[in-house]
Amino acid sequence: MKRFIQKPHLFFFILIPIIILLGFLYKNETIDINVYTTYFVLGFSNLSYLFVVFFGLIGLNYFSFIGQKKLQKNG
């Protein structure tokens, strides 16, 4: 657990292949969301790819902070 706190980008990079695998396994499943009288039908594979991109960007953001100076407290 200490490793994930020190290197949070590893957590997000490990999640990416897991989510791709789940998206591949459940590619024919759909998620129906009802908002008042409108139904949003999302394919699980498309939603998983969206999460992969989102987690990849978060992981890259954390990875870019490695080696930079610590934030200073004002006051």
Return the amino acid letter for 43. Answer: G
Indicate whether 51 pLDDT > 90: yes
Percent helix, strand, coil in the chain (nearest 5)?
Answer: 60, 15, 25
Residue 8 is encoded by which pair of tokens?
């949070």
pLDDT per residue as tens digits for the range 13-39: 899 999 999 999 988 889 899 999 899
Q: Enumerate residues 6+ apart whose C-beta is below 8 A from 41.
A: 30, 31, 32, 33
Rounded to two decimals, the pTM is 0.74
Residue in 60, 61, 51 with CA at minimum distance from that of residue 18: 51
What residues does each domain of the chain span?
2-64
pLDDT at residue 65, as a whole number: 80
Q: How confident is the model at residue 8 (pLDDT cuts 50, 70, 90)?
A: confident
